[in-house]
Amino acid sequence: MKVEEIRALNDEEIARQLEAAHQELFDLRFRASTKQLVNHREIPRVKRTIARMETVLRERALAAE
């Protein structure tokens, strides 16, 4: 998910997407530990998405102050 797409969402939608991304990261890590993960590049991709969402939320929080 790109930053422009994340910024188009409201805070509640970002929170839902963030929860889903955390769940996906958990599943990927679980599959990696059981040697069932085919594409290991998925883990950094999800981590980067989580960081982007948290950054947008932090930017909004600082702008509100």
Q: How far is CA 42 from the centre of its chain?
A: 12
What CATH code is carried by the domain that includes residue 16? 1.10.287.310
Q: What gap in Å lies between CA 46 and CA 12, rounded to an integer?
A: 19
Domain that holds residue 43: 3-64
With the CA atoms of 38, 43, 44 and 50 taken in that order, what torsion angle do they form, in degrees rounded to the nearest 10? 150
Reported as a pLDDT band with limits 50, 70 and 90, residue 1 is confident
- Count of structural domains, the chain: 1
Note the pLDDT tens digit of each residue in 8-63. 999 999 999 999 999 999 999 999 999 999 999 999 999 999 999 999 999 999 99
Q: What is the pLDDT of residue 49?
A: 97
Q: How many CA atoms lie within 13 A of 13 on its CB side?
A: 6
